[in-house]
Structure 1
Amino acid sequence: MDAAGNRNVRRLALIGIPVAFAVMGLKLVAWWVTGSVALLSDALESSVNVVAAFMALFVVHYAQRPADHDHPYGHHKAEYLSAVTEGVLIVVAALLIVKEALPEVFNPRLLDAPVLGLAINMGAAVVNGIWAKILINAGSKYRSAALKADGQHIMSDVVTSVGVLIGLVLAILTGYAIFDPLLAVVVAGNILYQGAKVITHSVGGLMDQAVSSEEEEAIKTVISANAPGALGVHDLKTRQAGAATFVSFHLVVPATMAVSAAHDICDRLEYAIQEVHPGSHVTIHVEPEGEKAHGLRVKTVKEA
């Protein structure tokens, strides 16, 4: 990621804090107006957004620090720590919702000022939906695990709000107040599912998960197209660490090839891979002819 991309990620992380406070405030007002346990559950989930917004701001700044003596590969994985923590917070929010909702299932009550409360909560959902889309798109564009996890969580918050609104409308139209706490329990189940997804994805990054099969095929294609003079490539490995992708492989060259010529091929390959996969760090081990090449083959000059 270039300097402009880093600035955009930090700016979005900073803006996320007042947005999270504003949305939580609206939902708390909606709960205060109506007394709805479902709206309280929605507000409780938004409190997680506030904590996550502060965490994302800190982690984004930390992850963009340059490599140093103690962290020669950089600090990129800090974003995954943020995402895992956010996933855990989502699960905690779901458990709090269940704690608030279950007693109300056995003692439901009709809502106060339901129309005003629903209108306020709907406004909060619209703000959340727009902001979640911005964060998810930015997270994908800049390969920021923290922004993407934050956006996915906020989008699950939007789904929660829509479910709550449907349940409260049913409670109002039918007169059955039990729809309110029941919807809160359903909301908690959805939040648990979303939290599990965030945790699973982030743990994959911490465990040095490889790039997707589509990205790997693109890297192989670039290598094949930009390695004239080489005889073969093997042991291609990739791993992701936040915005950075690490690519390594062995390049087999003729035994008589000059070091400078092999170096030129490596430079050409590094540039080509970084063009198709921005933010990648490429390591190439050059081997003389005679080593057994396997796996990916590149065209020789005669074959080209």
Structure 2
Amino acid sequence: MSMAAAAAFSVVEDPGRLVKRTAAMTIGVACAVLAIKYLAYMVTGSVALFSDALESIVNVVAGLVALWAVSVSYKPADSDHPFGHTKAEYFSAVIEGVLIVLAALLILREAWGAYLSPRAIEAPLLGIAINGVATAINLVWAQVLVRKGREHRSPALDADGRHIMADVVTSVGVLAGLAIAGATGWSILDPALAALVALNILREGWKVVASSLSGLMDRALDAQEEARVREIISKYGEGALEVHDVKTRIAGRAIFIEFHMVVASSMSVGAAHVICDRLEDALQAEFDGARVLIHVEPEAEAKQVGVPVI
């Protein structure tokens, strides 16, 4: 079969469909993990395991919100939203952060009740084994979400993945504490562990909200990526006298790059357009789907003649 024929049969999956399918699968995984963790709680009666299960309820709700946000973010631009809907994913992350805080407060309430009325933990080894299965599932899926979130620049998937990874760390701590409590008979460890779970997810909730608010405020590319933008402009800006006022911003998975390009006053519009096309193609090749805006100026507007990029 020729390469052309092979290409005809190959199917490149739509990134939006892949992201939405991943978000939908997250809901199923979260429901399965919730059921397993709740079983561990029923077996042991441990308030720490109950708090771990309660956090999984947040994962289910957050998964539903993330699926909605991802679906909205991939809607095409329209007259009311000419720059698209990519920022919708940030709202998902903010809502997830709020849910995390609410879960932490509920866990603290349960921990306080267990502290006032301590109770022995039943079948701790069986509970640890059951919860360990749920933790292993979460560990694998969190890594998948973080990887997919970064690959497709999806704040919703990335926030979900980081939250679930925090859940994994919490679960490992809970399991270790329950093992100690079972071996020593110190029932006070159970509510103490629940309180630590609450404090840990409060910290993670703050990180998720802070990251999302940064995105809503049109955060620029990181320093390394901005340096790469300038390198590309310098390399492919042949024919221009200088480029200045380089600005970048991130809106979900969308990247916006804009700058002023100074050319000789005698240069034709067509020649200047050729330079612009070359720069746009190079930047979009490096930053998939980047939206590039170039303002062409005559040499009288130069800020520092002879410097390609400032």
Contact 2:139–2:164 at 8 Å: present in 1 too?
A: yes
CA distance in 1, matches of 2:112, 2:304: 60
Please name the residue that 2:222 is paired with.
212
CA distance in 1, matches of 2:100, 2:19: 22
TM-score, normalised to structure 1, is 0.96
CA distance in 2, matches of 1:296, 1:213: 24
Contact 1:143–1:243 at 8 Å: present in 2 too?
A: yes
Percent identity of the aligned residues? 54
Please name the residue that 1:125 is paired with.
135
CA distance in 2, matches of 1:96, 1:267: 56
The question of 1:84 aligning with 2:94 is answered: yes
Please name the residue that 2:55 is paired with.
45
The question of 1:19 aligning with 2:29 is answered: yes
| Of 140, 143, 146, the match for 1:136 | 146
Please name the residue that 1:302 is paired with.
none
The question of 1:261 aligning with 2:274 is answered: no
Query: How far is 1:163 from its partner?
Result: 1.0
CA distance in 2, matches of 1:183, 1:163: 8
Please name the residue that 2:172 is paired with.
162
CA distance in 2, matches of 1:87, 1:14: 19
Secondary structure, aligned partner of 2:187: coil
Contact 2:92–2:156 at 8 Å: present in 1 too?
A: yes
Q: Which runs of 5+ in 2 are unaligned?
A: 1-11
Q: Which runs of 5+ in 1 are unaligned?
A: 300-304
Query: How far is 1:258 from its partner?
Result: 0.5
Please name the residue that 1:112 is paired with.
122
| Of 248, 260, 263, the match for 2:258 | 248
Q: Which amino acid is the alignment partner of residue 210 of structure 1? A: A
1:175/1:295 CA distance change after superposition, 3 Å: farther
CA distance in 2, matches of 1:258, 1:41: 68
Please name the residue that 2:200 is paired with.
190
Please name the residue that 1:172 is paired with.
182
**Which portions of structure 1, spanning 4 or more consecutive aligned residues, are displaced by more than 4 angstroms?**
none
CA distance in 2, matches of 1:128, 1:295: 56
Please name the residue that 1:201 is paired with.
211
1:104/1:294 CA distance change after superposition, 3 Å: farther
CA distance in 1, matches of 2:198, 2:304: 50
Contact 1:27–1:39 at 8 Å: present in 2 too?
A: yes
Deviation track 1:121-173 (CA, whole Å, cap 9, x = no partner) reads 00000000000000000000100000000001111111111111011111011
Deviation track 1:47-76 (CA, whole Å, cap 9, x = no partner) reads 000001111111111100111000000000
Secondary structure, aligned partner of 1:290: helix
Secondary structure, aligned partner of 1:66: coil
Secondary structure, aligned partner of 2:248: strand
Contact 2:255–2:291 at 8 Å: present in 1 too?
A: yes
Aligned positions, number: 298
TM-score, normalised to structure 2, is 0.94
| Of 62, 79, 84, the match for 1:74 | 84
The question of 1:9 aligning with 2:4 is answered: no
| CA RMSD, Structure 1 to Structure 2 (Å) | 1.4
Contact 1:233–1:295 at 8 Å: present in 2 too?
A: no
Please name the residue that 1:291 is paired with.
301
Query: How far is 1:270 from its partner?
Result: 0.6
Deviation track 1:7-34 (CA, whole Å, cap 9, x = no partner) reads 2111101111111100001011110111
Secondary structure, aligned partner of 2:203: helix
Contact 2:30–2:56 at 8 Å: present in 1 too?
A: yes
Contact 2:41–2:47 at 8 Å: present in 1 too?
A: yes
Q: Which amino acid is the alignment partner of residue 108 of structure 2? A: V
The question of 1:280 aligning with 2:290 is answered: yes
